[in-house]
Amino acid sequence: MEYFETNVPPPIPEDFGTQARVELCNKVLTDWTQTPPGDDPYLKNYAAAMLQFHNTAGPIYDTTVAVLTARPDMGASHLKTLEQRAMQKQIIALMGEDYPAALGDTEADVHKWLDAIASVRADPERFDEWIYDIHNQELQTNVPYRGDCLEAFLSMANDLGRLTTGNIVEFGCSQNLILKRHARKLAMGADAPMEHYGPNDTDVPLPHIIRDGGLHLQATAANHQLIRQPVPFGYGVGIDSKSPAAGRDWSYNSVYPSEFANKARMTDVHDLIYSDYSNNVGFYQADVTDFDLASFHESFPQMRNATDVVFICTSAYLLPPEKRQGVFDLGIEMVKGETPETNGFLILYDNCMRVAMDPTQVNFFSDWQSVPYCYHFYVMDTRAPEPIWEEFYMSPDTRANTVRVGNGAILDKNGTPHKVWDYMMDMAVDLSYLKK
């Protein structure tokens, strides 16, 4: 079937900035056809099909140009991911449970993805909604397993005498899954499962710690132990500019195609999204770039000078670059304690890299999906005399199924630094459950 009205190259926008960004968008899709996010084979096929629409004059190409013109803050990976989520929502509405398996994940199946995208394009209401979503929705991933690094970090901080209240704030919490999962784990105690679903079944539970070119069993087991260990939990507040209730269905569909095919994972995400808040998890709707801290403390007085951790998880990359430092300063303000000893931690878990010459700064990338090991878990320990972004963990992508341990350290309650890797190597761990 021929979907393209013409083979004439698309018109080049006059503004060079937009044109360069359109080219970067095509590069993102081309990269996905080789190394798709999360190694998802369905995304390879989606990208191969979408690229054909992008390289041809027509409303899909026009939408990219229009969005890039309307949203100068939006980077290429951001737009292409949002566009994929919005298209997936429409294809799921057409295909239901058959998605994505019926579209296939081999090269010979690309034509089925072309047909599916063409069906959406041919339906005026579906296509309108696709455009509406790209203009109006936020990229709202819901990856509760991103909480694993936070859980491990909290255990270490607790063992080192650095948790005072167990109060946590998350910026850009989407459906608040990370805090809800934290509350669920602590409520379940020793029965809490290690549920971290990867793309493939693996003998060793995820996440895996990689070192010296392979799976490091001792570090993996130590990390699992830290993830499972209970810690004191006072109160958790998730902050987001969108209300969770408004975006539940959008959020539920906002996953990679192969994640959608993983029924156990989707059930778990669904249960967390639709679960009621526990007694000690709350939500506050606000834009963190324009935040009134006094009003926040009026709503949650227990957090004033008593917040151990502000967690900025996979949301800073969505902010306009010139607003990011202000958001980090807000986080630092929130974790200030009554005394320097009770100062807490600002954690940034995102597609960014610390600046080697100035480790108080981080760089973000427009096409982060092409930057290897770009997903970093940085901790700023505000008790330190000169806090820097300490590198704790890094992963090849935002699913963090495999993790490398960085060079970072935190201070214990006496002010002595502990490197995360040394700390893990000193732990006594049981390896028997890792053996087949």
Q: Report residue 345 as tokens.
A: 């931690």
- Residue 173 binds to ligand SAM (criterion: CB under 6 A): yes
Kindly write down the DSSP assignment for every residue of 321-352, as one continuous string: GGGHHHHHHHHHHHT--SSGGG--EEEEEEEE
Burial 26-54 (b: 16+ CB within 10 A, else e): bbbbebbbeebbbbbbbbbbbbbbbbbbb
- Residue 174 binds to ligand SAM (criterion: CB under 6 A): yes
For ligand SAM, give the closer residue by CB, 41 or 238.
238
Q: Report residue 248 as tokens.
A: 């539940």
For ligand SAM, give the closer residue by CB, 74 or 429.
74
- Residue 180 binds to ligand SAM (criterion: CB under 6 A): no
- Among 88, 90, 141, 369, indicate the residue that binds ligand SAM (CB under 6 A): 141
- Residue 107: CB minimum distance to ligand SAM, A: 30
The pairs formed by 183-190 with CB atoms below 8 angstroms and a separation of 24 or more are 183/233, 183/236, 183/278, 183/280, 183/281, 184/272, 184/275, 184/278, 185/151, 185/228, 185/230, 186/230, 186/231, 186/233, 187/278, 189/230
For ligand SAM, give the closer residue by CB, 247 or 406.
247
For ligand SAM, give the closer residue by CB, 294 or 356.
294
For ligand SAM, give the closer residue by CB, 15 or 287.
287
Name the DSSP class of 38. Answer: G
- Residue 283: CB minimum distance to ligand SAM, A: 11
For ligand SAM, give the closer residue by CB, 117 or 312.
312
- Residue 134 binds to ligand SAM (criterion: CB under 6 A): no
- Among 26, 225, 289, 361, indicate the residue that binds ligand SAM (CB under 6 A): 289
Piece in contact with ligand SAM (CB under 6 A), picked from 84-92, 133-141, 198-206, 426-434:
133-141
- Residue 140 binds to ligand SAM (criterion: CB under 6 A): yes
- Residue 84 binds to ligand SAM (criterion: CB under 6 A): no
- Among 241, 275, 278, 302, indicate the residue that binds ligand SAM (CB under 6 A): 241
Residue with tokens 């679903």: 197
209 CB-side CA count, 13 A? 25
- Count of residues that bind ligand SAM according to CB under 6 A: 22
Closest C-alpha among 150, 145, 151, 147 to residue 196: 145
- Residue 397 binds to ligand SAM (criterion: CB under 6 A): no
* Strands 389-395 and 402-405, bridge-based pairing: antiparallel
Per-residue binder mask for ligand SAM (CB under 6 A), 2-31, x = binder: ------------------------------
- Residue 288 binds to ligand SAM (criterion: CB under 6 A): yes
SS3 label, residue 406: coil
User: Does a cis peptide bond (omega within 30 degrees of 0) precede residue 59?
Assistant: no
For ligand SAM, give the closer residue by CB, 174 or 370.
174
- Residue 139: CB minimum distance to ligand SAM, A: 5
Which residues are registered as beta bridge partners of 171? 239, 312
Contact 87, 28 (CB under 8 A): no
Kindly write down the DSSP assignment for every residue of 76-140, as one continuous string: HHHHHHHHHHHHHHHHHHHHGGGTTGGG-SSGGGHHHHHHHHHHHHHSHHHHHHHHHHHHH----
- Among 121, 146, 162, 181, indicate the residue that binds ligand SAM (CB under 6 A): 146
- Residue 246: CB minimum distance to ligand SAM, A: 10
| Sign (positive or negative) of CA dihedral 365, 367, 370, 374 | positive
- Residue 219 binds to ligand SAM (criterion: CB under 6 A): no
- Residue 79: CB minimum distance to ligand SAM, A: 14
For ligand SAM, give the closer residue by CB, 319 or 403.
319
Contact 316, 324 (CB under 8 A): yes
Kindly list the residues in this chain that would bind ligand SAM in the complex (CB under 6 A). Answer: 138-143, 146, 172-174, 239-242, 287-289, 313-315, 318-319
